[in-house]
């Protein structure tokens, strides 16, 4: 297997496959973007809230289309984010570091057959600084021969995507005892954690899930405690910086919404009945019989939710599930 080498300032590109013929901006090749999990986004990057965008390259031409895709996507794609006043957002510090470090960057050759498409997901915050609230227009560019700033480097011209409208809200307001306040998407009213008993906390979360009200569903979930139940994520959490931990929590929340992790707790119950509640001063459990529609049958499961009280607020920190069959 031959290794191909291409130099750009400060970076060594290593290819793992034979070089393709020079690519061209062929007709019928379309680049499109969409929000992977459209929801309420907040302005400060320090919140760790990712803005995930799905990038899709579609081949509508009669021939296969080949391009190079870097393992570090910063060398394959770029985002242009502008305000309504046509002011361009500054590149993120992490993007500048990734593109200027002297290190090898591996890529692979991807072939997209006629009528097929290829997609991947990127976080806009890894590319631009978004610290101010307001309305923005987002566009992506993809470099079939990888990004290179070297004079006369040649290569295929970049592919340009459609535009997306992005709205960033001001940061969440600080609530009592430092608990952040969330906004209800439907009413824009501030959601505040109240001193509810454990059974009402669980009922509140399940009712919110039935109505697909994610802000209310997450209000009484201790995401850190739930994330750290997994030994692998626990090790990663301990090794991360404070900013890295915020990003882990934000991604975990996104994965819950997409049912990528902990699918049992994110599944919408058809109905539920609280069977038993027990608690001490700071720890509690709530057992709930839940029913789920699965095509033409109804599944029955018994959930046991673990709760913990801190600053007089009960939150869900974990759960277990027992399958009871169908009815």
- CA distance linking residue 239 with residue 308, whole number of Å: 25
End residue of a domain, out of 152, 169, 186: 169
- Asked if residue 156 and residue 130 are part of one domain, the reply reads yes
- CA distance linking residue 6 with residue 155, whole number of Å: 12
Beta-sheet pairing, 41-42 with 159-169: parallel
Amino acid 188: pLDDT: 54
- Asked if residue 103 and residue 214 are part of one domain, the reply reads no
End residue of a domain, out of 123, 139, 169: 169
Q: Sort 316 into a burial class: Cβ within 10 Å, 0-12 / 13-18 / 19+.
A: buried
Contact 223, 205 (CB under 8 A): no
- CA distance linking residue 198 with residue 307, whole number of Å: 7
Amino acid 255: pLDDT: 82
> Would you state the structure tokens that stand for residue 230, as one six-digit string?
């997994």
- Asked if residue 262 and residue 155 are part of one domain, the reply reads no
Give the closest residue to 72 by CA, choosing from 113, 162, 12, 4.
Answer: 12
Amino acid 166: pLDDT: 92
In which element (H, E) is residue 10 found?
A: none
As separate numbers, helices (DSSP H) first and strands (DSSP E) second, the chain gives 7, 17
- Asked if residue 46 and residue 8 are part of one domain, the reply reads yes
What's the CATH number where 266 sits? 3.10.450.50
What residue numbers bound the domain in which 98 lies?
4-169
Give the closest residue to 144 by CA, choosing from 163, 123, 118.
Answer: 118
- Asked if residue 93 and residue 140 are part of one domain, the reply reads yes
DSSP of 256-279: HHTTSS-HHHHSPPSEEEEEEEEE
Give the closest residue to 14 by CA, choosing from 156, 109, 152.
Answer: 109
Amino acid 240: pLDDT: 85
- CA distance linking residue 267 with residue 291, whole number of Å: 10
- Asked if residue 187 and residue 97 are part of one domain, the reply reads no
Amino acid 102: pLDDT: 79
- Asked if residue 180 and residue 164 are part of one domain, the reply reads no
- Asked if residue 253 and residue 190 are part of one domain, the reply reads yes
What's the CATH number where 129 sits? 2.60.40.2360
Q: What is the pTM of this model?
A: 0.52
> Would you state the structure tokens that stand for residue 259, as one six-digit string?
């049912």
Query: How many domains is the chain partitioned into structurally?
Result: 2
- Asked if residue 208 and residue 153 are part of one domain, the reply reads no
- Asked if residue 273 and residue 211 are part of one domain, the reply reads yes
- Asked if residue 218 and residue 145 are part of one domain, the reply reads no
How far CA 296 is from CA of 126, 293, 299, 322, in Å, comes to 44, 7, 10, 21
Amino acid 266: pLDDT: 82
- CA distance linking residue 211 with residue 322, whole number of Å: 24
Rounded to 5 degrees, φ, ψ at 144 are: -60, -30
Residue 104: how many CA atoms within 13 Å on its side-chain side?
Answer: 8
End residue of a domain, out of 139, 169, 199: 169
- Asked if residue 151 and residue 12 are part of one domain, the reply reads yes
* Longest distance between any two alpha carbons in the chain, whole Å: 72
Contact 215, 192 (CB under 8 A): no
Contact 118, 106 (CB under 8 A): no
Amino acid 187: pLDDT: 53
Amino acid 157: pLDDT: 87
Amino acid 5: pLDDT: 37
User: Can you give the pLDDT of all 327 residues of the chain as single tens digits?
Assistant: 333 334 344 444 444 433 333 333 457 899 999 998 777 787 765 445 788 899 999 999 999 999 999 999 999 999 999 999 899 999 988 899 888 887 787 899 999 999 999 999 999 999 999 888 889 999 999 999 888 744 445 567 899 999 999 988 776 554 443 445 555 555 555 677 889 999 999 999 999 999 888 888 888 999 899 988 888 888 888 888 877 888 888 888 888 887 666 778 888 899 999 999 999 999 999 999 999 988 889 999 999 999 999 888 999 999 999 999 988
């Amino acid at each position: 297997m031959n290794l191909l080498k291409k130099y750009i300032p400060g970076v060594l590109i290593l290819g793992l496959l034979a070089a393709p013929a020079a690519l061209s901006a062929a007709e019928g090749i379309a680049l499109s973007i969409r929000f992977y999990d459209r929801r309420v986004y907040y302005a400060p990057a320090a919140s760790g809230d990712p803005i995930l965008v799905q990038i899709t390259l579609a081949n509508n031409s009669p021939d296969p289309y080949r391009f190079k895709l870097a393992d570090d996507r910063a060398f394959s794609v770029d985002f242009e984010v502008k305000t309504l006043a046509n002011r361009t957002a500054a590149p993120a510090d992490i993007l500048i570091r990734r593109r200027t470090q002297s290190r090898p960057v591996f890529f692979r050759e991807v072939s997209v057959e006629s009528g097929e498409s290829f997609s991947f997901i990127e976080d806009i915050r890894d590319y631009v600084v978004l610290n101010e609230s307001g309305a923005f227009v987002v566009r992506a560019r993809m470099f079939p021969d990888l990004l290179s700033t070297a004079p006369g480097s040649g290569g295929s011209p970049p592919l340009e995507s459609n535009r997306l409208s992005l709205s960033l809200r001001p940061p969440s307001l600080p609530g009592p005892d430092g608990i952040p306040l969330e906004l209800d998407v439907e009413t824009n009213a501030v959601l505040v954690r109240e001193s509810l008993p454990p059974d009402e906390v669980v009922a509140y979360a399940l009712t919110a899930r039935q109505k697909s009200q994610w802000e209310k569903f997450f209000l009484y979930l201790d995401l850190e405690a739930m994330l750290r139940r997994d030994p692998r994520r626990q090790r990663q959490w301990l090794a991360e910086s404070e900013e890295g931990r915020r990003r882990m929590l934000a991604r975990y929340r996104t994965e819950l919404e997409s049912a990528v992790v902990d699918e049992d707790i994110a599944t919408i119950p058809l109905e539920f009945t609280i069977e038993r509640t027990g608690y001490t001063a700071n720890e509690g459990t709530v057992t709930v019989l839940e029913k789920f529609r699965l095509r033409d049958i109804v599944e029955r499961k018994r959930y046991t939710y673990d709760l913990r009280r801190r600053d007089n607020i009960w939150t869900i920190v974990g759960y277990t599930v027992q399958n009871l069959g169908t009815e």
